Amino acid sequence: MNAPLRRPLIAGNWKMYKTIAETQAFFDQISPLIFEVDHCDLVIAAPFTSLRRAVETGEKLGFGISAQDLYWEKEGAYTGEISAAMLREAGCRYTLIGHSERRQFFGERDQTVNRKLQAALAAGLMPIVCVGESLAEREAAQTEAVLQRQLAAGLAGLTEAAFSPIIIAYEPVWAIGTGRTATPEIAQQAHAFIRNQLAGLVSPLAAERCRILYGGSVKPDNISGLMAQPDIDGALVGGASLDAGSFAAIVRYQETR
């Protein structure tokens, strides 16, 4: 069971999928399927162009809307970038930061994660900070060293008070989009390690309160085993969040426990 001080959170990460019309259709379809769900927080991370529609249709259904990335400057000559204040104005309450696809394909580094994190917090966004090792790093027994580095550099310079809205997502890169989910035991081990690191980096109480989500091939048939782990407080769902039926089944994980 999750400790009562950590409310479960199920988040969908749509990546570069869903137009405005498809965003509307998703919320229309999921509406009757999540009726009366109140055991967890619900989040959808939509592409920039669909955020406004997601806010307008999703918030009424209880979803908090998240961006998938942001830039750390307030404004300026940064062609193609979006600021935290722009996301707030669009109605976002959350933002992903440091997703492994940003790290792999778009040059995200621990230092840029930290700058984005500071900007998001200053604007009142709740950051979902993604960490996780690659297959090569896991096979070389570097998982803990990678997580330690990503957390220490990514969270550098935060006070305990500033840390409190932060959500961490543990997403082993080898499990993302591969259908190869971490077993609940492997995921639990990494989550416990992360919580331990947070205790040292921030404080034991902050670590105890921090929600740590698992991400990487989460599906309706593996979510309940993951959620049964003591340090897994929710999920960040990619592929299976695109379909209203499968995302609703994940959200209702406690019914199949």
Q: Which residues are catalytic?
A: 99, 171
Phi and psi, residue 40, nearest 5°: -150, 160
Q: How far is the CB of 169 from ligand PGA (least distance, A)?
A: 7
Min separation Cβ 66 and ligand PGA, Å: 11
Distance separating alpha carbons of residues 181 and 214, to the nearest angstrom:
10
Point out which residues bind ligand PGA (CB under 6 A): 13, 171, 176-177, 215-218, 236-240
When the beta carbons of 67 and 176 are compared against ligand PGA, the nearer one is 176
Which one, 58 or 220, has the nearer CB to ligand PGA?
A: 220
Torsion sign across C-alpha atoms 175, 177, 178, 179 = positive
To ligand PGA, the closest distance from the beta carbon of 31 in angstroms equals 22
Q: Which residue is nearest to ligand PGA (CB)?
A: 238
Smallest separation, CB 26 to ligand PGA (Å): 16
Closer residue to ligand PGA in complex, CB, 154/238? 238
Residue 204 phi, psi dihedral angles, 5° rounding? -60, -40
Place of tokens 């969908």: 12
Query: How many whole angstroms separate alpha carbon 211 and alpha carbon 187?
Result: 14
Alpha helices by DSSP H, the chain? 20-30, 51-58, 84-89, 100-105, 110-122, 135-139, 143-154, 160-163, 184-201, 204-209, 223-227, 244-251
